[in-house]
Structure 1
């Protein structure tokens, strides 16, 4: 059946082993982000078998689907008040920043007679300068020490929007400084700083980085082999997943190419029609995945346009004479993987 997304679990297992080894060499705790699994157990089982101790997902309902997998489960975003019941049931740890949400979460944890670990998320804008003991929200945070069923295990932030290493290092060092202030104020020990995603690989060997930053969250690294700006990570496997879609129509088409010639204040539009173009329609639309996140493996195929349940390709220059029933393969961006895994109309296949 098509369209079909295929995951090569052998490559993911190798990536997992390599990331675990590299993280251990740097005394880093590794959390495998599994948003791309979209609630499908096969990928998460592959990670658990390789020795991953903690997975992270942005959806509580996905964590629920992994309840039979013996692995620590972390919610990677602040929870909604309406989902606190399910958070306590299905997650062991959560990122959180709002004090009122913490109060409500503590009450729900008491009701269920459970303890929940929390990682206090610090907005990256707060990290532009070093903290001091009089910083405006530190006094508010002293209430955290009174929550009977919440355990503050760490601080966290998200710096994925930054690609300047010096900026990231400075912000993380400010976070490490804040950790020490908070430990002194609350009289507790905070065991970890969850310092970033796969892009952290580009700075994890920096001598200027405070070693208190000791947890890395890797999703694209383990599952796709890429890091900062989608650049391949040299010691990891890429092409871990791909899409195949079947052609349902093939027909000739006269394509018009508009050529704009600027001269002074005037623009001339010339039209060049080629009656020999050949188009193919595949059974995949933007309800499954947006076409600008697809990468054709045949460099001579161009993606022309897309509707809700179809995509039109120009196959004129391909060396293959495509016909109805033929299958076209695509490589995938992160967003393509995410969309396809969440589409019920796309078949999921896993190579062992």
Structure 2
């Protein structure tokens, strides 16, 4: 067996998806399952589909290409680059957009392929990432977009929390619903999708009915069962679908303070240390090139993560009840970021359990 290794439990993922999709469906909301966290792995994406998602969604066209054989509508989440317009039209049924120039390129490529590419226009409601911030600019762009052939505006969307940390509220999302209604009346078009963000919006369900909201783009709530606004576990879900196993390569008693003058570490930072005396230090064969140490949570509560470097993870095992030896395996749960980094690293083995 090769380490470090991430183990993925498909049954747990399916159970999470069923629970979250059921919650959303009860409010008339369809779920787009975000696959970027596991790099568009088709086997894991199938668990999403079996759990009941209505779409698959990803930020990278390479991942959507991996999913091309799965018969379900696919959404390009990140605003498309003009240079990838042809691939977007070929492998995504829908894309999120906020730039007229890019939509024009999509229109041209769609016409070449004899397709109609669907567009969700993004509106920035204050988180300051993508989307139209000024309504006048949005309306001016729509007037030009509706004249384009090969593309069709099918909805509005927004993203919250990811950059600015803005928590979705009923009042904020009702602004999006009001804007959708204005656009439909002004331009005599029907917008079939109102996409109210990501897993941070789930905290509003089921107590807050958002007018017109009928789509959410969910990743964390499906793989971990948590809403991302406050980190609360969603009823009926589990947070252990993904686990990381790492192998111990050294166990030694050492002081907890380095000896000598302290300068910058391998990543350009000046480290600080807590003097705990002589401690049992455990060195593992995984590093910052593979995972985010702050996103790891040891299953053994007696272990303290001290830090590490690009290739090494350093643990304090003095308080553990386990007498760890070289060659033993230590397991971790991970946050969403931890799963993302581990699944992306080619140096981390992946084992998918049916």
TM-score normalised over the length of structure 1: 0.89
Q: 1:279 corresponds to which residue?
A: 281
C-alpha separation in 2, matches of 1:29 and 1:106: 26
Describe the superposition over 1:185-231 as per-residue Cα deviations: whole angstroms up to 9, x where unpaired.
22211111001212222223345x54211111211111110102322
C-alpha separation in 2, matches of 1:20 and 1:90: 24
C-alpha separation in 1, matches of 2:159 and 2:251: 46
Q: 2:17 corresponds to which residue?
A: 16
> What SS does structure 1 have at the residue aligned with 2:145?
helix
Q: 1:215 corresponds to which residue?
A: 215
> What SS does structure 2 have at the residue aligned with 1:26?
coil
Alignment of 1:1-352 (within 5 A): 1-125=2-126, 135-160=136-161, 161-162=164-165, 164=167, 168-206=169-207, 209-227=209-227, 228-256=229-257, 274-275=277-278, 277-352=279-354
Q: Which runs of 5+ in 1 are unaligned?
A: 258-270
Please state how far the C-alpha of 1:116 moved relative to its aligned partner.
0.9
> What SS does structure 2 have at the residue aligned with 1:292?
helix
Q: Which runs of 5+ in 2 are unaligned?
A: 259-273
> What SS does structure 2 have at the residue aligned with 1:173?
helix
Counterpart contact for 1:142–1:185, Cα < 8 Å: no
Larger radius of gyration between Structure 1 and Structure 2 = 1
> What SS does structure 2 have at the residue aligned with 1:280?
strand
Please state how far the C-alpha of 1:235 moved relative to its aligned partner.
2.6
Larger strand proportion of the pair = 1
Residue-pair matches, total: 333
Please state how far the C-alpha of 1:155 moved relative to its aligned partner.
0.2
Please state how far the C-alpha of 1:164 moved relative to its aligned partner.
4.9
Counterpart contact for 2:282–2:317, Cα < 8 Å: yes
Counterpart contact for 2:127–2:165, Cα < 8 Å: no
Change (3 A) 1:43 1:273: closer
Please state how far the C-alpha of 1:59 moved relative to its aligned partner.
0.5
C-alpha separation in 2, matches of 1:21 and 1:65: 27
> What SS does structure 1 have at the residue aligned with 2:257?
strand
**Once superposed, what is the RMSD of the aligned Cα atoms?**
2.4
Please state how far the C-alpha of 1:103 moved relative to its aligned partner.
0.8
C-alpha separation in 1, matches of 2:349 and 2:65: 22
TM-score normalised over the length of structure 2: 0.88
Describe the superposition over 1:248-297 as per-residue Cα deviations: whole angstroms up to 9, x where unpaired.
1112212239xxxxxxxxxxxxx96734x211111100000121111111
Describe the superposition over 1:292-321 as per-residue Cα deviations: whole angstroms up to 9, x where unpaired.
111111121111221111111111221111
Counterpart contact for 2:287–2:313, Cα < 8 Å: yes
Please state how far the C-alpha of 1:136 moved relative to its aligned partner.
4.4
> What SS does structure 1 have at the residue aligned with 2:146?
helix
C-alpha separation in 1, matches of 2:275 and 2:157: 56
